Amino acid sequence: MRATDVTAAVPGSPTWWLERQAREARRRPRADGLSTERIVDAALALVDAEGLDALTVRRLAEELHTGSASLYRHVASRDELLVLLVDHVLGEVRHPPDGTDGRATVEVLSNELRRVLMDHHNLVPALTVSPLFGPNALLGTERGLAGLLDAGFPPDVAVPAYLALVDFVLGTVFFDTSSTGQVSGLTHERHELLAAFPADAFALLRARPDDVSLPSVDDVFAFGLATFLDGLEHRFLPSDGTAGPR
């Protein structure tokens, strides 16, 4: 451990989180009141109210009655701020009480992850900035993995299942929040668009799904979660309805 290693770790990486924690503990700020916590709170309020593009360093500084340079005392870059915001939001996940059974734990955590991200949907594109190694992300991983193991899945199933599940939850959040929020032409606006193509193209999209009510994004999420968990139990649990080894 060198005394002054100025080379910056990539924001969001494990070493970045470690270095950041050390640096934060070492600070002795003046009594002017500016702190990382205040910055994060103000930034989140701004993102929620006006969108991610409105979060500029200058605008945030204005909101906090300082100059933009002052923010760089607490946060090394805009990307670092986004990493902090994402983990802050993950902290809003409500964990199920101890003793909740395995599958219910997984379902609650999946729904909660989706809920908090949808509550702060303007922040969602920031999830692509970095991997998720913040303390709140780690807690979610710990609990989610525990739920799958408790449900009876062996570790070599629980680990990929956990990762696939997170991919699915985050995928739904991404595409339910991307601009107008409907993926791939399955929406009611599409008819005039299809009319611009030759009559025999996209026969299915023209016919469907008018005879089927288009599911809401929440329905799609619930459907996908239930189907994935059922597939998991069908493939890897000895028999339905009874829990595996603990």
**Interactions with its own copies, residue window 59-118 (CB under 8 A):** none
Contact 173, 118 (CB under 8 A): yes
Instruction: Rank residues 60 and 158 by Cβ distance to DNA and give the closer one.
Output: 60
**The one among 23, 37, 197, 243 contacting its own copies by CB under 8 A:** 197
**The one among 67, 119, 227, 238 contacting its own copies by CB under 8 A:** 227
Residue 4 contacts DNA per CB under 7 A: no
CB of 206 to its own copies, least distance (A): 9
**Interactions with DNA, residue window 70-99 (CB under 7 A):** 70, 72-73, 76-79
How many binding residues for DNA (CB under 7 A)?
A: 22
**Interactions with its own copies, residue window 124-153 (CB under 8 A):** 124-125, 127-133, 135, 137-142, 145-146, 149
72 binds, among its own copies, DNA, none (CB under 5 to 8 A by kind): DNA
- Please report the DSSP string for the chain in residue order: --S---SPPPTTSHHHHHHHHHHHHH----TT---HHHHHHHHHHHHHHH-GGG--HHHHHHHTTS-HHHHTTT-SSHHHHHHHHHHHHHTTPPPPPTT--HHHHHHHHHHHHHHHHHHTGGGGGGGGSS---SHHHHHHHHHHHHHHHHTT--HHHHHHHHHHHHHHHHHHHHHHHSTT---TT-SGGGHHHHTTS-TTTTHHHHHTTTTSPPPPHHHHHHHHHHHHHHHHHHHHSSSTTS----
What is the spatial distance between Cα 147 and Cα 143, in angstroms, rounded to a whole number? 6
First to last CA, the chain: 41
28 binds, among DNA, its own copies, none (CB under 5 to 8 A by kind): DNA
CB of 69 to DNA, least distance (A): 3
- Each residue 165-184 as x (binds its own copies by CB under 8 A) or -, in order, gives xxxxxxxx-xx-xxxxxxxx
**The one among 2, 25, 32, 246 contacting DNA by CB under 7 A:** 32
CB of 16 to its own copies, least distance (A): 10
Give residue 208's identity as a one-letter amino acid code: R
Instruction: Rank residues 65 and 234 by Cβ distance to DNA and give the closer one.
Output: 65
- Prior bond to 209 cis, omega within 30? yes
Task: Determine the interface stretch with DNA among 37-45, 49-57, 112-120, 237-245 (rule: CB under 7 A).
Answer: 49-57
Per-residue tokens: 179: 């601009």
Residue 59 contacts DNA per CB under 7 A: yes
How many binding residues for its own copies (CB under 8 A)?
A: 88
Binding site residues, DNA, CB under 7 A: 27-30, 32, 34, 55-59, 66-70, 72-73, 76-79
